[in-house]
Homo-oligomer: A and B are copies of this chain.
């Protein structure tokens, strides 16, 4: 794809955003390979996607600081990126830093409000905030001569709105904006994107584009969008393992998941209000695959010594033939950001592609990327991969004469 694509990251100075940008630029400089990117292997590698090294980055954040500083801290604390990679991309990150604007922390809960520098200007109306966001998107597009801007939310976890059903129609959303109801920031970013025709991805557990009124908006505007909550670690494992138990008719009686992590995301999740959304999307993945009377608990605890290395310990008790009680336990240790970042790039590419193809509304072929895929009931990973395969089969680029010559 030769179009020029911009990727606007909400939460741009966070770990996931920064790691995604480091990776894209490191790939551009040949300083790392594309391991971990779904779009770089079959089936997606056959699509005519925008090149990773051509992606242009910008974004919002609410904390001062810079992407370079976040990158330094990640290198220092977790060793990812390593020094050589960081050196290779430092200048590029500094350029990106110029394109990061101050966003809004409105209705993000106390934990986020506390970390937001400059606070949240309570005197601004939601309409004014949304207007500012839209201006930021537009300026990014214009300044960088972009054909398309994909907006991806990788900001901190917010509390879920108390009554999301309230916002089930475009009208309800518009009224909420007019009347300064407590719409969370993620939904303001989503509204601004969808209303402006920008494809939108919600990588967080936040409400964002999950509200019915925003889905309606996307359909009306003909914009592709998807979410929510990137599936990177324990939940990825769950969606992989649960179908095995189901397919073998083994009855899972209890699934205990205990996550410990030590990064900023973990710190924000210490706040029970902010954690609620995460627990909801993590827990839900077993629904529909396993028995309903399953004892299913997820714990997320903040353990500073771990830094960005999340450790999940899961204990699964299942009953088999002749009432035999058996068990599986696993320990997953991954760098959360290194797992999430390549998916952010994948989603940017796949959503730009969908937009180019004129698709609009929810994009179910992307279900495998999310803990709680909007509009998709299937939680089994392999079946979700199958949806992506089918999509690719339909959309795979017909090799042009020129393309074939290139292969020589």
Task: Give residues in A with beta carbon < 8 Å to B.
Answer: 19, 22-23, 26, 32, 34-38, 40-41, 79-83, 85, 236-237, 240-241, 243-244, 246-251, 253-254, 256, 258, 260, 295, 297, 299, 301, 303-306, 311, 313, 315, 317, 319-335, 338-339, 341-342, 368, 380-383, 385-386
**What residues of chain B lie closer than 8 Å to A83, measured between beta carbons?**
83
B249 & A34 in contact (Cβ 8 Å cutoff): yes
Check A323–B35 contact: CB distance below 8 A.
yes
Contact of A321 (CB < 8 Å), options: B253, B329, B338: B338
Chain B, Cβ-Cβ closest to A320: B36
The answer to whether residues A36 and B85 also contact, given A315-B313, A322-B22, A322-B26 and a CB cut-off of 8 A, is: no
Contact A321 B249 (CB under 8 A): no
| Interchain CA distance A253-B11 in the complex, whole Å | 30
Given contacts A237-B244, A254-B304, A258-B313, 19 further A-B contacts (CB under 8 A): A19-B322, A23-B322, A36-B321, A80-B322, A253-B305, A258-B299, A260-B315, A320-B334, A320-B342, A321-B338, A322-B341, A324-B335, A326-B338, A328-B330, A328-B333, A330-B330, A331-B331, A380-B382, A381-B382
**Interchain CB contact (< 8 A) of A320 among B305, B326, B335:** B335
Name the residue among A83, A249, A299, A325 with the largest chain B CB count within 10 angstroms: A249
Report the Cα distance A237→B326, complex, angstroms: 14
Report the separation of the CA atoms of residues A326 and B342 in the bound assembly, to the nearest whole angstrom. 15
Chain B residues with Cβ under 8 A from A380's Cβ?
382
Q: Give the residues in chain B near A40, CB-CB below 8 Å.
A: 249
Bound Cα distance A381, B254 (Å): 23
**Distance from A317 Cβ to chain B, minimum over Cβ atoms (Å):** 5
Q: Report whether A321 and B333 are in contact in the complex, using a CB–CB cutoff of 8 Å.
A: no
Interface centre among A19, A83, A320 (most CB of B within 10 A): A320
Q: Say whether A247 contacts B331, CB under 8 Å.
A: no
12 cross-chain CB contacts under 8 A? A35-B251, A35-B320, A37-B321, A240-B244, A243-B381, A256-B303, A320-B335, A320-B342, A326-B333, A327-B334, A328-B330, A328-B332
Cβ–Cβ contact A321 & B303, under 8 A: no
Q: A80-B322, A240-B240 are in contact. Are A317 and B305 (CB under 8 A)?
A: yes
Most-contacted residue by chain B among A241, A248, A342, A380 (CB, 10 A): A248
- Given contacts A254-B303, A311-B315, A331-B330, is CB(A341)–CB(B325) below 8 Å? no
**A253 to B256 CA separation, bound complex (whole angstroms):** 25
The chain B residue with its CB closest to the CB of A233 is B326
Chain B residues closer than 8 Å to A35, beta-carbon distance: 249-251, 319-321, 323
Residue from A19, A22, A247, A319 having most chain B Cβ neighbours under 10 A: A247
The distance in angstroms between the C-alpha atoms of A38 and B246, with both chains bound, is 9
Contact of A306 among B243, B317, B335, B338 (CB under 8 A): B317
The distance from the CB of A389 to the nearest CB of chain B, in whole angstroms, is 10
Identity of the chain B residue whose Cβ is nearest the Cβ of A307 in the assembled complex: B325
Given contacts A41-B249, A249-B40, contact A241 B243 (CB under 8 A): no
Closest residue of chain B to A342, judged by CB? B321
